[in-house]
Amino acid sequence: MDIKLEELKILFDEKQIREKIKELSAKLNKLYKGEEVIAICALKGAVIFASDLIRELNMPLRIEFIRLSSYGSSTKSSGKVNAVDIKLPDLNEKNVLIIEDIVDTGLTAKFLVDFIHMNFHVKSLKFCSLLDKKVTRKVEIEPDFYGFDIDDKFVVGYGLDYDEHYRNLPYIAYK
């Protein structure tokens, strides 16, 4: 599949995304009640969402970045998660919030949650994804928080790419 800018249809515009981030951040602010959080942003896709979301969070917060890949240049998951770069500080006894762009098969989310539980005794672990593609799930995992539920569409924009393009679009779109 090839995706051209002029073929893209907007699924969620800037205003809808902004409002959704306000809703999500209000829930997170209520949950953590001023306790320190270590946010873990899964690169590259979640970088725009994470940077907008954390600016609405009011607790003391540190951010870490990890890099995983499961798609390569295709529009379907390879079914295998590659840990490209996972260097994390000591997360023992910390409130950890994983920030993802989208949960699709769920393999990446499961990999990350298992990885953190295997390596640390965290105080709490929550998973927040902007998008949730429930229909394509292959493993049993649900984000604790998500912005929008979408059906089986390949989406781009607002951090999400097609072969490394379109991450800079301020909206989320599909072909």
Q: Which residues are catalytic?
A: 104
| Residue recorded with tokens 């954390």 | 54
What is the pairing mode between strands 9-12 and 124-132?
unpaired
Q: In the range 118-137, which residues lie near ligand 5GP by CB under 6 A?
A: 133
Q: 8 to 27, contacts with ligand 5GP by CB under 6 A?
A: none
Residues 6+ apart with CB under 8 A from 21: 49, 52, 53, 56, 147
Structure tokens at 73: 């240049």
Does residue 160 belong to the site contacting ligand 5GP (CB under 6 A)? yes
CA distance 155 to 173: 5
Q: Which range touches ligand 5GP (CB under 6 A), out of 23-31, 59-67, 101-109, 112-120?
A: 101-109
Query: Among residues 155, 169, 172, 173, which is the contact residue for ligand 5GP, using CB under 6 A?
Result: 155
Return residues touching ligand 5GP (CB under 6 A). 45, 70-71, 77, 100-109, 133, 154-156, 160-162
